[in-house]
Amino acid sequence: MDSESRRRFIQQTAAWSAASLFAGSLSQALARDSQKKLGWALCGLGSLSTNQIAPALQKTQFARLAGIVTDTPEKAKKWQAQYNIPAKNCYTYATMEQMARNKDIDVVYIVTPNALHLEQTQRAAKAGKHVYCEKPMETSVERAQQMIDACKAADRKLGVAYRCRFEPNNLECIRIAREKELGAVKVVEASFGFTIGDPSQWRLKRALSGGGALMDVGIYALQATRYITGEEPLTVSAVETKTDPVKFAEVDETIAWTSKFPSGAVASCSTSFNAADTGRYRARADKGWFGLEPAFMYSGIKGRRSDGKDIAFPQIDQFAAEIDDFSRCILENKSSIVSGEEGLRDIKILMAIYESARTGKTLNLAG
* Interacting span for a second copy (CB under 8 A) from 10-18, 122-130, 147-155, 268-276: 268-276
Nearest to 140 by CA among 215, 87, 238: 215
Query: Rule CB under 8 A: is residue 1 a binding residue for a second copy?
Result: no
Query: Rule CB under 8 A: is residue 291 a binding residue for a second copy?
Result: no
Per annotation, catalytic residue among 132, 220, 281, 354: 220
In whole angstroms, give the CA distance from residue 361 to residue 309: 40
Nearest to 41 by CA among 116, 129, 114: 129
Query: Rule CB under 8 A: is residue 268 a binding residue for a second copy?
Result: yes
* Interacting span for a second copy (CB under 8 A) from 53-61, 112-120, 159-167, 248-256: 248-256
Nearest to 126 by CA among 90, 89, 109, 101: 101
135 is catalytic: yes
Residue 314 DSSP symbol: P
Minimal distance, residue 318 CB to a second copy, in Å: 23
- 156 to 185: interface string for a second copy, x by CB under 8 A: --------------------------xxxx
Rg, Å, the chain Cα set: 20
Minimal distance, residue 354 CB to a second copy, in Å: 14
**Segment 204 to 243, residues that bind a second copy, using CB under 8 A:** 235, 237-243
User: For a second copy, which is the closer residue by CB, 49 or 271?
Assistant: 271
Query: Rule CB under 8 A: is residue 265 a binding residue for a second copy?
Result: yes
Query: Rule CB under 8 A: is residue 193 a binding residue for a second copy?
Result: yes
C-alpha distances in Å from residue 59, one per residue of 93, 316, 318: 27, 11, 11
Minimal distance, residue 302 CB to a second copy, in Å: 14
Nearest to 221 by CA among 285, 294, 155, 152: 294
**Segment 302 to 331, residues that bind a second copy, using CB under 8 A:** 306
The number of beta carbons lying within 10 Å of the beta carbon of residue 149 is: 15
DSSP characters over 264-312: S-EEEEEEESBS----EEEEEESS-EEEESS-SSSS---EEETTS-EE-
* Element housing 6 (H / E): helix 3-22
Strand partners, 40: 65, 107
The single residue among 138, 167, 216, 277 that binds a second copy, judged by CB under 8 A, is 277
Question: Total residues at the site for a second copy (CB under 8 A)?
Answer: 52
User: For a second copy, which is the closer residue by CB, 90 or 285?
Assistant: 285
User: For a second copy, which is the closer residue by CB, 111 or 266?
Assistant: 266
C-alpha distances in Å from residue 265, one per residue of 95, 226, 284: 48, 11, 9
Minimal distance, residue 192 CB to a second copy, in Å: 10
Residue 36 DSSP symbol: G
Query: Rule CB under 8 A: is residue 189 a binding residue for a second copy?
Result: yes
* Interacting span for a second copy (CB under 8 A) from 26-34, 87-95, 98-106, 357-365: 357-365
Per annotation, catalytic residue among 135, 162, 227, 354: 135
C-alpha distances in Å from residue 213, one per residue of 247, 251, 275, 353: 12, 8, 10, 12
For residue 73, say if its preceding peptide bond is cis, omega within 30 degrees of 0: no
* Interacting span for a second copy (CB under 8 A) from 103-111, 120-128, 161-169, 285-293: 285-293
* Interacting span for a second copy (CB under 8 A) from 49-57, 157-165, 278-286, 325-333: 278-286
DSSP characters over 75-129: HHHHHHHHHT--GGGEE-TTTGGGGGG-TT--EEEE-S-GGGHHHHHHHHHHTT-
Query: Rule CB under 8 A: is residue 365 a binding residue for a second copy?
Result: no
Residue 339 DSSP symbol: B
CB 21 within 8 A of CB 31: yes
103 is catalytic: no
Query: Rule CB under 8 A: is residue 337 a binding residue for a second copy?
Result: no
The single residue among 112, 274, 327, 339 that binds a second copy, judged by CB under 8 A, is 274
User: For a second copy, which is the closer residue by CB, 49 or 254?
Assistant: 254
Return the active site residues.
135, 220
Q: Please report, as ranges, the residues that interact with a second copy according to CB under 8 A.
A: 182-187, 189, 191, 193, 195, 235, 237-243, 253-261, 263-270, 272, 274-278, 282, 284-289, 306, 360-362
